[in-house]
Homo-oligomer: A and B are copies of this chain.
């Protein structure tokens, strides 16, 4: 039986990106300003159409590179921290989510260290890192006193889902190291957890926990004082991806 094109409705398929990083003690996401209708001028998550010959992960990696210049970390080279972490998040397909047409968006979650300045086609004013709480608050006013407009489309929901994924995933995996530069201290890693979870952690217990989990951290031998205070040992991410037992997010 030949294939019948009238048997199904055509869809547009896009990838949207929740790109998270930690800047100045706050969990931040990459937002781009929309240049066209609908939601013209509003902030949105970066994304774009999946091309005809492209896998979903490829499309997400391409969009990530276009927006940030980040390459995706290659799991085949675990010792070498050569880029960001990227994983599929969820898919959003409400018939009304885009007023123009039927669009199904496969959202991806990317975690990156705080290095690159955003660039949306070279125009810095159209892309920025913003604290997720600022992007997610409905109404009210931002840090600069300007009124805050909600994110375009259903992107507030997508961002919220991505943040929740990141929050829960650093509990039982070593993913928090994806927010760190290739070499980092225990204190820097702790500040990642504190920023993502929005809590304060006991430095002594945290130190005991992460240095005591086999395969989580590998000492490089070096030390640094870039955080001030007593010099701290430098570590790389170890081979372990699953933490057992997990880091427990404090209650309340």
Spell out A's residues near B (CB within 8 Å): 1, 3, 7-14, 36-37, 49-56, 88, 90-95, 100-102, 104, 106, 244, 251
| A54, B93: Cα distance in complex, Å | 9
Provided the pairs A9-B52, A91-B91, A93-B13 are in contact, do residues A104 and B104 lie with their beta carbons within 8 angstroms?
yes
B55 with A94: CB separation less than 8 A: yes
A95 with B52: CB separation less than 8 A: yes
Provided the pairs A55-B94, A56-B93, A95-B52 are in contact, do residues A101 and B13 lie with their beta carbons within 8 angstroms?
no
Q: Lowest 3 A-B CB distances belong to which pairs? A: A10-B10, A9-B52, A56-B93
Which of B12, B37, B56 is in CB contact (< 8 Å) with A8? B12
Residues of B within 8 A of A7 (CB): 49
CB distance from A181 to the nearest CB of B (A): 30
Closest to A97 in B: B55
A55 with B93: CB separation less than 8 A: yes
B9 with A11: CB separation less than 8 A: no
Provided the pairs A13-B93, A88-B90, A91-B88 are in contact, do residues A104 and B8 lie with their beta carbons within 8 angstroms?
no
CB distance from A189 to the nearest CB of B (A): 23
A9 with B51: CB separation less than 8 A: yes
Known: A88-B91, A244-B251. 13 other contacts (CB 8 A): A8-B12, A8-B13, A11-B12, A11-B50, A13-B13, A13-B93, A13-B104, A53-B95, A55-B95, A56-B91, A56-B93, A91-B106, A104-B106
Q: Assembly of this chain: how many copies?
A: 2
CB distance from A232 to the nearest CB of B (A): 31
CB distance from A78 to the nearest CB of B (A): 21
22 A-B contacts, Cβ less than 8 Å apart? A1-B37, A3-B101, A7-B49, A8-B12, A8-B49, A9-B50, A10-B11, A11-B11, A11-B13, A11-B104, A13-B13, A13-B104, A50-B93, A50-B104, A53-B95, A55-B93, A55-B95, A56-B94, A88-B90, A93-B106, A104-B106, A244-B251
CB distance from A2 to the nearest CB of B (A): 9
| A7, B50: Cα distance in complex, Å | 11
Residues of B within 8 A of A13 (CB): 8, 11, 13, 93, 104
Closest to A37 in B: B1
Residues of B within 8 A of A1 (CB): 36-37
